[in-house]
Amino acid sequence: MKSFIDSNVLIYWTDDSTRADVVEQLLAADASISIQVLNEFTNVLFKKRALPLKQIRKWCDTLLEVCEVHELSVKTHSLALQLMAKYKLSFYDANIVSSAGLAGCDVLYSEDMQDGLVVRFPDKTSLSIRNPFR
- Residue 78 burial (C-beta neighbours within 10 Å; 0-12, 13-18, 19+): exposed
* Segments making up each domain of the chain, as ranges: 3-130
In CATH terms, the fold of domain 3-130 is Rossmann fold (3.40.50)
According to the model, what pLDDT value does residue 1 have?
A: 86
pLDDT in tens, 17-69: 999 999 999 999 989 999 999 999 999 999 999 999 999 999 999 999 999 99
- Predicted model pTM: 0.95
pLDDT in tens, 17-29: 999 999 999 999 9
Average pLDDT, the chain: 97
